[in-house]
Amino acid sequence: MDRESINRMFTRRRLQRLAGLLSLALVAGCHTDMWIQPKAKPLQQSDFFADGAASRPPVANTVAQGQLRTDDHLYTGIVAKKYVDEFPFAIAKQDIERGQDRFNIYCSPCHGALGDGKGMIAQRGLALRAQPATYHTERLRKMPVGYFFDVITHGHGAMFSYAQRVDPDDRWKIVSYIRALQLSQHSALEDLTAEEQGQIDEKPVGIGIAAAAGDTHAGTNGAAAGGHTEGGSKH
């Protein structure tokens, strides 16, 4: 082939077209249009709103459908300016178990699996300004259930509110489990039936957090709380 025919084959025009085609093939790999769509997912950033977040907080006093919380007993634990001493719904065994589950997630890091205030934080934070409370005091055993509900909802002292993370129903179930814990740590052997006394040395059956070192407690445990064991070690 002579030089001239080669030149004719690769005219500038043709080269440009070829480059255009090749770059089209490259661009075909960059399909961002569907990958990043103009829609907002939860917690996504946004440069449109002043606070930089795509999710909008509801306008003050918004009531979501079906969430008009008129039942003071259920949603505040306070009726006529007094803490209620009754649960807003009947507590069955599975409610206490649900309460145990939620308690172990949200409360046990500070209050300990047994509610004795010896959770991981209490053991780690050597210089805590306020020690987590134990539930096994005369004062708290006498407190109405509404008080515990209120503390979970609004926090107390150094404790923050857990209202965002624990739904009202679950808060009541946690309270029912706290009652079970209080009973378990404050019963005498004689309070149990003969049959229950026989079960004391059996292995606890609950799924609960096994007590960490230093969490061991003498005395009876779960059996007193309506056949409901929590996973503390026995003696």
185 binds, among other proteins, ligand HEC, none (CB under 5 to 8 A by kind): none
53 near ligand HEC, judged by CB under 6 A: no
Q: Please identify, using beta-carbon distances, which residue of 42 and 66 lies nearer to ligand HEC.
A: 42
With a CB cutoff of 8 Å and minimum separation 6, the contacts of 162 are 106, 152, 153, 155, 171
Are 182 and 141 within 8 A, CB to CB? yes
121 near other proteins, judged by CB under 8 A: yes
105 binds, among other proteins, ligand HEC, none (CB under 5 to 8 A by kind): other proteins
58 binds, among other proteins, ligand HEC, none (CB under 5 to 8 A by kind): none
128 near other proteins, judged by CB under 8 A: yes
For residues 177-207, one letter each, b for 16 or more C-beta atoms within 10 angstroms of the residue's C-beta and e for the rest, the string is bbbbbbbbbbbeeeebeeeeeebbeeebebe
Judged by CB under 6 A, which of 3, 12, 39, 124 binds ligand HEC? 124
SS (H, E, C) 116-163: CCCCHHHHHCCCCCCCCCCCCCHHHHHCCHHHHHHHHHHCECCECCCC
13 near ligand HEC, judged by CB under 6 A: no
State how far the Cα of 82 lies from the Cα of 147, in Å rounded to an integer. 9
Residues in touch with other proteins (CB under 8 A): 34-37, 39, 41-43, 45, 51-53, 104-106, 109-110, 120-121, 124-125, 128-130, 158-160, 162, 164-165, 207, 209-210
